[in-house]
Chains A and B, each alone.
Chain A
Amino acid sequence: AQSVTQPDIHITVSEGASLELRCNYSYGATPYLFWYVQSPGQGLQLLLKYFSGDTLVQGIKGFEAEFKRSQSSFNLRKPSVHWSDAAEYFCAVGRSTGTASKLTFGTGTRLQVTL
């Protein structure tokens, strides 16, 4: 069965500092990978996705992620964090099973930004 691990439950960075959120997945085939962000009281917003091709993908709000098959990782990065980036970040694997398709999420990383 597929699984997603986000090793860091909580990360604190200073505004303007760089950010890297870790994500490791377990899945037999080439995965469809996603990063979502959830602000308090909000639903999930898609930051970026990877299906195939270039392993470095760009997303919204200045985020990027790199797919590394050898490490089963899909880490999210941002060069300079803004206070508004404080939120919960979820990595997810998408797959089809039979007639269904679903997302399997990690437990999330809560990002705190200090001024």
Chain B
Amino acid sequence: DAGVTQSPTHLIKTRGQHVTLRCSPISGHKSVSWYQQVLGQGPQFIFQYYEKEERGRGNFPDRFSARQFPNYSSELNVNALLLGDSALYLCASSLSGGAKNIQYFGAGTRLSVL
């Protein structure tokens, strides 16, 4: 079975631009979460979506938004990019939205903002 897949693998943008990152969950998983991992730090929670609804949001500005589609895939959008948005963006999927559900992570999208 395919794991969590993310695209693109790497991305280079300039300040002020917009970016869209994509995530396909494991088949049968209905929850997708997004995390930001800055170099040298642990991942930080950005969003959780379950059954196409936003269930939670971390301490990130409104420039960050996301959505989940009927096939449970998800997009993370970041507007007005700042240098500090450079990070590895990880997507995780789980069967449902509860805290006991194991989150399976993709390999991430490495975003560089110049």
Contacts and interface: CB of A to CB of B under 8 A. Distances in A.
B40 interface: yes
B99 A106 contact: no
A106 B105 contact: no
Of A4, A96, A103, A106, which is in contact with the most chain B CB atoms at under 10 Å from its CB? Answer: A103
A113 B105 CA distance: 25
A104 B45 contact: yes
Contacts of B102: 46, 49
B68 to A, nearest CB: 13
A101 B40 contact: no
A105 B42 contact: yes
B98 A44 contact: no
13 contacts: A32-B99, A44-B43, A45-B105, A94-B103, A95-B99, A99-B55, A100-B56, A101-B101, A102-B56, A103-B92, A105-B42, A105-B43, A108-B41
Given A44-B90, A101-B56, A101-B101, 18 more contacts: A36-B105, A41-B107, A42-B107, A46-B103, A51-B100, A97-B56, A99-B50, A100-B57, A100-B97, A101-B48, A102-B45, A103-B43, A103-B45, A105-B42, A105-B44, A106-B42, A107-B42, A108-B40
